[in-house]
């Protein structure tokens, strides 16, 4: 088995004539925790959205778990089933209970029967420490709780890879810790995680690799220790100074 679960090579992407990703090579090993950081507009969200085909690329290849995303419609579907995604805004369905939010996709997409889907959902709710909210509606939850539900919902599809796009940046400071704690648990459980975040504590504690982007280019790739203690490029130094003084 290939040790890389994600291999992106020579990726170029444009929004009209704006060159948003410039000859990107990006690889993630099975079980690896990769943190993507960089200034606003540098292309972080676009990059991770290319992994599950939410954004189309103009050239290059994206291979996930041995499947080339552009080979056929079916390969895109297969990859979407293997790659979960958690966004900054959790997008829970407001008219469904928490349990219904989590069981919806496994029922519709994977045809899991209701009883089994509910059993799995309850286990996941336990994992994110919100089993007492099973029958509540999203509006009864704090932002941090909603984000933990969004994580449980993503896990219900049994993904091999989870992509996080700034999962804590819209949360009140007092709820961030609980979300990070769930993410740290996942990191210990051998999930493969690609996370766009400026939570440098998280990056240092569980990150295997930091990828620093600027202006559509991967400028540096290193271990968290190296990146924080000894950033190589001036751009990374400026970025770190900026986030550490905020
Ligand atoms: N659908 C779109 N159409 C046109 N331009 C876009 C589109 N989406 C993003 N862009 C532009 O592409 C660039 C990269 O956007 P992207 O969202 O990937 O950056 P980012 O690094 O995630 O930024 P942030 O930290 O603010 O989330 C930005 O200049 C953005 O304005
Ligand atoms: Mg973004």
Atom of ligand 1 nearest to the CA of 49: 18
Answer yes or no: are the C-beta atoms of 98 and 125 closer than 8 Å: yes
What pLDDT does 237 receive?
Answer: 95
Q: Whose CA is nearest to atom 17 of ligand 1?
A: 45
For residue range 183-228, list pLDDT tens digits in order. 999 999 989 999 999 999 999 999 999 999 999 999 999 999 999 9
Answer yes or no: are the C-beta atoms of 52 and 79 closer than 8 Å: yes
Q: 44: CA distance to ligand 2 center in Å?
A: 6
58 DSSP assignment: S
Determine the 3-state secondary structure of 91 from DSSP: coil
For residue range 115-136, list pLDDT tens digits in order. 999 999 999 999 999 999 999 9
Q: Whose CA is nearest to atom 1 of ligand 1?
A: 15
221 DSSP assignment: E
Percentage with pLDDT > 90 across the chain:
88
Give the CA count within 13 Å in the CB-facing half-sphere of 59. 5
**Residue 14 pLDDT more than 80?**
yes
Got the DSSP string for 175-242? HHHHHHHHHHHHHHTT-EEEEE---HHHHHHH-SEEEEEETTEEEEEE-HHHHHH---SHHHHHHHHH
Please report which confidence band the pLDDT of residue 1 belongs to, taking 50, 70 and 90 as the band edges: low
Tokens of 180: 């990070």
Answer yes or no: are the C-beta atoms of 27 and 10 closer than 8 Å: no
Q: Whose CA is nearest to atom 3 of ligand 1?
A: 15
Whole-model pTM?
Answer: 0.95
Backbone phi, psi, residue 110, to 5°: -100, 0
């Amino acid at each position: 088995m290939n040790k890389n679960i994600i291999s992106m090579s020579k990726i170029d992407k444009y929004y009209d004539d704006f060159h948003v990703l410039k000859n990107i090579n990006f690889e993630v090993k099975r079980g690896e925790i990769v943190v993507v950081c960089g200034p606003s507009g540098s292309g972080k969200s676009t990059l991770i959205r290319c992994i599950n085909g939410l954004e189309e690329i103009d050239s290059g290849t994206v291979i996930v778990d041995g499947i080339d995303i552009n080979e056929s419609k079916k390969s895109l579907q297969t990859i979407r089933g293997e790659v979960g995604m958690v966004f900054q805004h959790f997008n829970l369905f407001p008219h469904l209970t928490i349990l219904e939010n989590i069981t919806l996709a496994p029922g519709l997409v994977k045809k899991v029967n209701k009883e089994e889907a509910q059993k799995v959902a309850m286990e996941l709710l336990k994992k994110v420490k919100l089993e007492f909210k099973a029958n509540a509606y999203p509006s009864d939850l704090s932002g941090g709780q909603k984000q933990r539900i969004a994580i449980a919902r993503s896990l219900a599809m049994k993904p091999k890879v989870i992509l996080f796009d700034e999962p804590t940046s819209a949360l009140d400071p007092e709820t961030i810790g609980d979300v990070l704690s769930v993410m740290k648990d996942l990191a210990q459980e051998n999930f493969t995680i690609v996370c766009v975040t400026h939570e440098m504590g998280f990056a240092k504690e569980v990150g295997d690799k930091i990828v620093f982007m600027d202006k559509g280019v991967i400028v540096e790739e290193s271990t968290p220790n190296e990146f924080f203690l000894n950033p190589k490029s001036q751009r990374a130094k400026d970025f770190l100074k900026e986030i550490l003084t905020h």
